[in-house]
Amino acid sequence: MEINRLEGIIEAILFTMGDSVELGKIAAAIEHDENTTRKILHRMMDKYDAEDRGLRIIELENAFQMCTKKEMYEYLIRVAKQPKRYALTDVQLETLSIIAYKQPVTKLEIEKIRGVKSDHAVNKLVEYNLVCERGRLDAPGKPILFGTTEEFLRRFSIQSVEELPSPNPEQVESFKEEAEEEVQLKLDI
Q: Which residues are within 8 A (CB) of 117 and not within 5 positions of it... i.e. 6 or more apart?
A: 111
Handedness of CA 5, 8, 14, 18 (dihedral sign): negative
**Angle of the 107-114 helix axis to the 90-102 helix axis, nearest 10:** 120
pLDDT value for 14: 93
pLDDT value for 156: 86
**Domain architecture of the chain: domains with CATH:** 3-70 (1.10.10.10), 90-188 (1.10.10.10)
Q: Cα torsion at 120, 123, 129, 131 (round to 10°)?
A: 90
Q: How far apart are CA 183 and CA 178, in angstroms?
A: 9
Query: Which residues of the chain carry a pLDDT beneath 70?
Result: 1, 83-85, 172, 175, 179, 183, 186-187, 189
pLDDT value for 87: 83
pLDDT value for 189: 63
Q: Which residues are within 8 A (CB) of 162 and not within 5 positions of it... i.e. 6 or more apart?
A: none
Neighbouring CB atoms inside 10 A of 125's CB total: 23
Contact 138, 144 (CB under 8 A): no
> CA–CA distance from 153 to each of 29, 52, 83, 121, 162 (Å)?
49, 45, 17, 19, 11
